Structure 1
């Protein structure tokens, strides 16, 4: 297992991340660091889903 600089295994806490359902493809996706400030506004799992915007 690869260890990070802090000595913790990388990816060790991914099970504790919040999840949402994509409005386009209905798949579960997990919280990402880049969505930290606007997680409450995130609706789509990817750029592709955001572009298609086929809610249904």
Structure 2
């Protein structure tokens, strides 16, 4: 069996809405380059920050 990756080895990004770092998730495996926000809540609040 393959050894599991530790969470510290996963890529991270900074959410432009809340400013907190978030890490890669398996559900984002195919679209990690397009992911901008850490959560659905931040995605909905994006208009308050002046982004797109």
Q: Could you say which residue in structure 2 is the equivalent of 1:47?
A: 40
1:13 CA displacement: 1.0
Q: Which runs of 4+ in 1 moved over 3 A?
A: none
Normalised by the length of structure 1, the TM-score is 0.73
Q: Whose radius of gyration is greater, 1 or 2?
A: 1
Q: Mind listing any 5+ residue stretches in structure 1 that lack a counterpart?
A: 1-5
Structure 2 alignment gaps of length 5 or more: none
Number of positions where the alignment pairs a residue of Structure 1 with one of Structure 2 = 48
Please give the TM-score of this superposition, normalised by the length of structure 2. Answer: 0.78
